[in-house]
A = this chain, B = another copy of it.
Amino acid sequence: MDLDLSPVEPFRAEVRDWLRAHVPAAPLPSLETGEGFAAHRAWERELASARLSVVSWPERYGGRDATPLEWLVFEEEYYAAGAPGRVSQNGINLLAPTLFRYGTPEQLDRVLPPMASGEVIWAQAWSEPGAGSDLAALRSTATRVGGGWLLNGQKTWSSRAAFADRGFGPFRSDPEAGRHRGLIYLMFPLEAEGLTRRPIGRLDGKPAFAELFFDDVFVPDADVIGEPGEGWQVAMGTTGSERGLTLRSPGRFTAAADRLVGLWRERADPADTALRDRVADAWIRARAYRLKGFETISRAEDAGAESSVNKVFWSELDVALHETALDLLGPDGELDGDWLEGYVFSLAGPIYAGTNEIQRNVIAERVLGLPREAKA
């Protein structure tokens, strides 16, 4: 057992130097605006030009074949540098792992390089008004037609969809089949004929989501991922990565915790250190999550249901960390700014990618082996 990071220090230094030279001095405009979206897309292109947009991917798709440890180190440097939010996040963290597992070589070649370069930005389109946590309840349909499928129905809370180029998600291809069967996983252009998108604001009013209305939107067979009817398995493969290490890298939290310690030092009245315990605790938990990440990548076997353990932990840490910052800010805690933006963002953590209630069920039943709940 060791924590010897010296072999990756050259890589870390390269990333750090590059970021120091390239991270914009002033924050980009919010990526929830048209202007900000374009600026963030340009940033993705800049990252890609240094082969830093998707370091863990194979070289042929724009990556560097980076090891998981290198990826963790990249993320640490990225967030420590205060670099811009990743507008390509949905594609890179949710769609790409799905394609690596279920996609055809043709799909990989076609989809990944423009994703890596920021040329095509992806939005996820999973939730429906009646199917949030209960994904099996979704009702939007895909109907077989010559050479492809026609999509009908509605998706909502589609992240990035207000400005993105393409979307992906599961649809019901066989209305007769059971809840978990008869789904199909598809990619589609957001500018497609028959598709209407309506931006919707998140908690602080910023349009981070959109509603999507499908009216006979045609999708060719080439854009089906996996087999028709096996969309559930494909989607679950994606939630695995959404819940696991990839979506919320430890570097986010260690960087935020370091900033919190800085805020505490700057703001706290030394005679009034009621929040000290919470500041220290946030830092300790961020460190725990970082070390847990090293542990995870050191293990040969796949984490499996343990990704639920991570999800509960990081999502609650993220909320607690930002709540502590807002409480430290006192009367400034309600004001728009980085900490409030981070707080609003953190509040989605316990809800999306399977609510923490569902995660706790998964932990209790699949890790601890407790009996399933009584059925309704």
Contacts and interface: CB of A to CB of B under 8 A. Distances in A.
A20 interface: no
A353 to B, nearest CB: 25
A276 interface: yes
Interface in A254-308: 273-274, 276-277
Contacts of A276: 274
A375 interface: yes
Contacts of A373: 374
- A interface bracket (residues with beta carbon within 8 Å of B): under 10
A275 to B, nearest CB: 8
Contacts of A26: none
Contacts of A368: none
A1 interface: no
- Looking at chain A's contact residues, is the secondary structure mostly helix, strand, loop, or mixed? loop
A374 B375 CA distance: 6
Interface string A332-376: 000000000000000000000000000000000000000001111
Contacts of A375: 374
Nearest to A277: B274
Contacts of A376: 374
A271 to B, nearest CB: 8
A357 to B, nearest CB: 14
Nearest to A371: B376
Contacts of A374: 373-376
Contacts of A274: 273-274, 276-277
Nearest to A270: B271
A273 B270 CA distance: 10
Given A274-B276, A374-B376, 7 more contacts: A273-B273, A273-B274, A274-B274, A274-B277, A373-B374, A374-B374, A374-B375
9 contacts: A273-B273, A273-B274, A274-B274, A274-B276, A274-B277, A373-B374, A374-B374, A374-B375, A374-B376
